[in-house]
Structure 1
Amino acid sequence: MTQVVLGENEGIDSALRRFKRQVSKAGILIDVKYHRHFETPIEKRKPKAVAARRTRRFK
């Protein structure tokens, strides 16, 4: 869990900037976007199969 503790005389803008940096480093937003909707196992395998077909075609 990402936390930002405000220091004395620290503005909310700098704390927000630190929070955003920590969130992006932790990869939280990427994870949220990935889990935004349920993906069936077949849907998970589909891009891999398409990539395999593409590589086979160009060999």
Structure 2
Amino acid sequence: MPSVQVRENEPFEIALRRFKRGCEKAGILTETRRREFYEKPTAMRKRKIAAATKRCKRKVSMDTLRKKPPYKKF
């Protein structure tokens, strides 16, 4: 759990913003949303496999875009 020390003469809004940023980096909000309802182990595996497949397809498409030969001048 991220913690924030409010500095001397620091407005509360800035400290709150730092706390929110720390929570976002730690992934607390996404974790609580994911754990809000029970997810069956098979559904969890299915979701993870789908995410891995999507990542792989995206990586392959990015690699093919990068490896196009440069245009030749005539």
What TM-score results when the alignment is normalised by the length of structure 2? 0.57
Q: Which has the larger radius of gyration?
A: 2
What TM-score results when the alignment is normalised by the length of structure 1? 0.70
Counterpart residue identity of residue 10, structure 2:
E
Q: After the TM superposition, which segments of 4 or more aligned residues of structure 1 sit over 4 Å from their partners?
A: 46-51
Q: Provide the identity percentage.
A: 45
CA RMSD of aligned residues (A): 2.1
Q: What does 1:7-22 correspond to in 2, within 5 Å?
A: 7-22=7-22
Matched residues, number: 51
Q: Which residue is 2:62 aligned to?
A: none
Query: Unpaired runs of 5+ in structure 1?
Result: 52-59
Query: Unpaired runs of 5+ in structure 2?
Result: 52-74
Q: Which residue is 2:23 aligned to?
A: 23
**Separation of aligned partners in 1, 2:23 and 2:50:** 32
Q: Give 1:45 shift.
A: 3.8
